[in-house]
């Protein structure tokens, strides 16, 4: 069954480190860490050992039972996070964790209205899909009542001000003026990614999260941050929100927490958890608090901290950014390079001055990269942008980064000369 865009034309048979291998044995450098998840690279030896050991002793339980891996992972997460994020719920996927977080926010506040950014992506399940605006909204009937969006602050394509002086503060204030006019008086939460990945790799400017949280506090809303792709070191800090010195009311983690295996978390304060429990909070799933993925997550945290992968991502991220900027200098179809750490975006355009999106060119470059031995992903947003999402493993070697950059430049050269 086709569940999205076309499938890749290659069949993958195995993976190791920063490479995946097709059925013919050809090596393909992975610049997306699988689905932006495998931050330790593919088939990490220590992760494989944990899976083998844990599956022989305790893999799955009745949802109301707890185990040592679950308790230890919850404690380890709380130790890494600031006060106010000290209660943990372990689930399987990002969409599921966002559904659980939104359900909690609605119960805690008594409201039902949820606001998100206009190019957001929080999943395709339930209320997460209602808060996702980058793609997949049409054709499925009504979304959850109370779903609203405000404009995402895009410094490359600013809606307020100019590129040299994008006024994100005025844009945010105006967005909340519209929210106030639309609200039925039942605002529950604002959910946001620190870097909107599927929505075009839009990095929220410094100060945005602080002002966003103030708007939420003024209205009795909870701020939910979705760090599915930015969590656990990818941006150069353990969590992306740390750059802004802002603590969300609820934090969701997924993708990177399991390093490629299905594991997610909802993390909030003792106060919010206690009140929701009093009100009868319910989010049972078949795999809530499963010991096998929890054991994996615990080992992922150990490795990220032990091997200082956040600081490594910061260093290698600068090298990656320099390489992408060099490609921009070489090729007129590259309009912008942005992002943090080892989570970068490169926007492809037909005309730099007009910033005309180039989805067909981007798709051709993607296909050519794969042919040359590099797995890339482009987010084509109809009428808005065509942006390569670049997220290699945090364990990638500098030489492997250079190999990928060389292939990307070659692919662009071939496809632009072919026009």
Count of domains forming the chain = 2
Distances from the Cα of 388 to the Cα of 18, 158, 348, angstroms: 18, 19, 8
For residue 99, is it within any domain? Answer: yes
Q: Give the number of residues written for the chain.
A: 419
379: closest CA among 364, 359, 356?
359
**pLDDT of 67 above 60:** yes
Statement to judge: residues 230 and 204 lie in one domain:
yes
3-state secondary structure 39-89: CCCECCHHHHHHHHHHHHHCCCCCCCCCCHHHHHHHHHHHHHCCCCCCEEE
Catalytic residue among 86, 96, 193, 244: 193
Statement to judge: residues 190 and 75 lie in one domain:
yes
- Quickly state the pLDDT bin for 163 (edges 50, 70, 90): low
- Quickly state the pLDDT bin for 94 (edges 50, 70, 90): very high
33: closest CA among 230, 325, 204?
230
What CATH number does residue 169 fall under? 3.40.640.10
- Quickly state the pLDDT bin for 18 (edges 50, 70, 90): very high
Statement to judge: residues 362 and 388 lie in one domain:
yes
Nearest 5°: phi and psi at 348?
-105, 135
Write the pLDDT tens digit of every residue in 277-321: 999 999 999 999 999 999 999 999 999 999 999 999 999 999 999
End-of-domain residue from the set 306, 337, 357: 306
* Cα–Cα distance, 238 to 305 (Å, whole number): 9
Statement to judge: residues 294 and 349 lie in one domain:
no
User: Is-catalytic flag, 177?
Assistant: no
pLDDT score recorded for residue 6 = 85
Statement to judge: residues 164 and 53 lie in one domain:
yes
For residue 115, is it within any domain? Answer: yes
**pLDDT of 418 above 70:** no
pLDDT score recorded for residue 4 = 85
Statement to judge: residues 313 and 270 lie in one domain:
no
For residue 83, is it within any domain? Answer: yes
User: Is-catalytic flag, 121?
Assistant: yes
Could you give the percent of the chain with pLDDT greater than 90? Answer: 92
What CATH number does residue 348 fall under? 3.90.1150.10
Tokens describing residue 215:
């708007």
Once rounded to an integer, what is the mean pLDDT over residues 68-91?
98
Catalytic residue among 213, 234, 255, 344: 255
For residue 411, is it within any domain? Answer: yes
For residue 96, is it within any domain? Answer: yes
- Quickly state the pLDDT bin for 383 (edges 50, 70, 90): confident
Statement to judge: residues 228 and 313 lie in one domain:
no
Phi-psi map region of 14: left, alpha, beta (phi>0 left; psi -120 to 50 alpha): beta
**pLDDT of 419 above 60:** no
Catalytic residue among 229, 234, 312, 340: 229
Write the pLDDT tens digit of every residue in 201-250: 999 999 999 999 999 999 999 999 999 999 999 999 999 999 999 999 99
End-of-domain residue from the set 289, 306, 323: 306
Write the pLDDT tens digit of every residue in 246-288: 999 999 999 999 999 999 999 999 999 999 999 999 999 999 9
Helix (H) or strand (E) holding 196: strand 195-196
pLDDT score recorded for residue 237 = 97
Q: Residue 398: how many CB atoms within 10 A of its CB? A: 11
Statement to judge: residues 281 and 366 lie in one domain:
no
Sign of the dihedral through C-alpha 199, 200, 203, 205: negative
User: Is-catalytic flag, 119?
Assistant: no
Statement to judge: residues 329 and 405 lie in one domain:
yes
User: Is-catalytic flag, 226?
Assistant: yes
- Quickly state the pLDDT bin for 5 (edges 50, 70, 90): confident
* Cα–Cα distance, 303 to 393 (Å, whole number): 13
Those residues with Cβ within 8 angstroms of residue 130's Cβ, 6 or more apart along the chain or in another chain: 114, 143, 144, 147
Find where tokens 């009428």 sit. 383
User: Is-catalytic flag, 227?
Assistant: no
Sign of the dihedral through C-alpha 268, 271, 273, 276: negative
End-of-domain residue from the set 253, 288, 306: 306
Tokens describing residue 164:
């040299």
236, 341 in Cβ contact below 8 A? yes
Strand ranges inside 250-366, DSSP E: 250-253, 264-268, 334-340, 343-348
Distances from the Cα of 340 to the Cα of 209, 245, 261, angstroms: 16, 16, 24
123, 132 in Cβ contact below 8 A? yes
Least confident of 22-26, 49-53, 141-145, 255-259: 141-145
Q: Residue 302: how many CB atoms within 10 A of its CB? A: 13
For residue 40, is it within any domain? Answer: yes
DSSP string, 107-166: HHHS--EEEEETT----SSHHHHHT--SS--TTS----TTEEEE----SSS-SSEETTEE
Statement to judge: residues 79 and 131 lie in one domain:
yes
Statement to judge: residues 107 and 175 lie in one domain:
yes
For residue 4, is it within any domain? Answer: no
Statement to judge: residues 219 and 363 lie in one domain:
no
Catalytic residue among 86, 121, 340, 364: 121
For residue 93, is it within any domain? Answer: yes
Structural domain containing residue 322: 12-44+309-417
Could you give the percent of the chain with pLDDT greater than 70? Answer: 99
What's the chain's average pLDDT?
96
* Cα–Cα distance, 10 to 22 (Å, whole number): 6
Least confident of 10-19, 108-117, 158-167, 348-357: 158-167
pLDDT score recorded for residue 161 = 74
Find the DSSP H helices in 248-290. 270-278
User: Is-catalytic flag, 243?
Assistant: no
pTM over 0.85: yes
Catalytic residue among 96, 389, 400, 415: 389
* Cα–Cα distance, 8 to 375 (Å, whole number): 10
Pairing of strands 87-91, 264-268: antiparallel
**pLDDT of 42 above 70:** yes
């Amino acid at each position: 069954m086709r569940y999205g865009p076309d499938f890749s034309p290659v069949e993958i048979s195995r993976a190791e480190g920063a490479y995946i291998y097709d059925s013919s044995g050809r090596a393909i450098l992975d610049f997306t860490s699988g689905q932006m998840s495998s931050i330790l690279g593919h088939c990490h030896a220590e992760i494989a050992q944990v899976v083998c050991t844990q599956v022989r002793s305790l893999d799955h339980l009745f949802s109301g039972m707890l185990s040592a891996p679950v308790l230890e992972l919850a404690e380890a997460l709380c130790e890494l996070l600031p006060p106010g994020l000290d209660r943990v719920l372990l689930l399987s996927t990002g969409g599921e964790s966002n559904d659980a977080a939104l359900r909690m926010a609605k119960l805690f506040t008594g409201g039902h209205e949820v606001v998100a950014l206009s190019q957001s992506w929080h999943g395709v399940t339930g209320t997460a899909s209602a808060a996702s605006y980058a793609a997949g909204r049409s054709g499925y009937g009504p979304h959850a009542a109370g779903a609203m969006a405000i404009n995402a602050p895009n410094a490359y394509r600013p809606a307020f001000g100019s590129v040299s002086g994008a006024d994100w503060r005025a844009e945010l204030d105006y967005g909340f003026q519209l929210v106030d006019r639309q609200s039925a008086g039942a605002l529950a939460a604002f959910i946001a990614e620190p870097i909107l990945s599927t929505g075009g790799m839009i990095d929220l400017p410094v100060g945005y999260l602080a002002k966003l949280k103030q708007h939420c506090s003024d209205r009795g809303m909870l701020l939910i941050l979705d760090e599915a792709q930015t969590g656990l070191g990818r941006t150069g800090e353990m969590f992306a929100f740390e750059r802004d010195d802002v603590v969300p009311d609820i934090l969701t983690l997924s993708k990177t927490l399991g390093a490629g295996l299905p594991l997610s978390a909802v993390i909030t304060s003792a106060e919010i958890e206690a009140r929701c429990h009093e009100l009868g909070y319910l989010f049972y799933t078949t795999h809530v608090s499963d010991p096998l993925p929890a054991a994996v997550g615990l080992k992922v945290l150990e490795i990220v901290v032990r091997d200082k992968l956040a600081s490594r991502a910061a260093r290698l991220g600068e090298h990656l950014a320099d390489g992408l900027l060099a490609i921009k200098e070489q090729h007129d179809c590259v309009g912008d390079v942005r992002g943090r750490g080892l989570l970068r975006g490169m926007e492809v355009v037909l005309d730099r001055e007009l910033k005309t999106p180039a989805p067909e060119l981007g798709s051709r470059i993607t296909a050519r990269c794969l042919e040359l031995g590099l797995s890339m992903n482009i987010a084509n947003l109809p009428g808005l942008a065509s942006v390569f999402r670049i997220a290699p493993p945090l364990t990638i070697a500098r030489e492997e980064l250079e190999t990928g950059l060389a292939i990307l430049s070659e692919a662009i050269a071939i496809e632009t000369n072919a026009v």
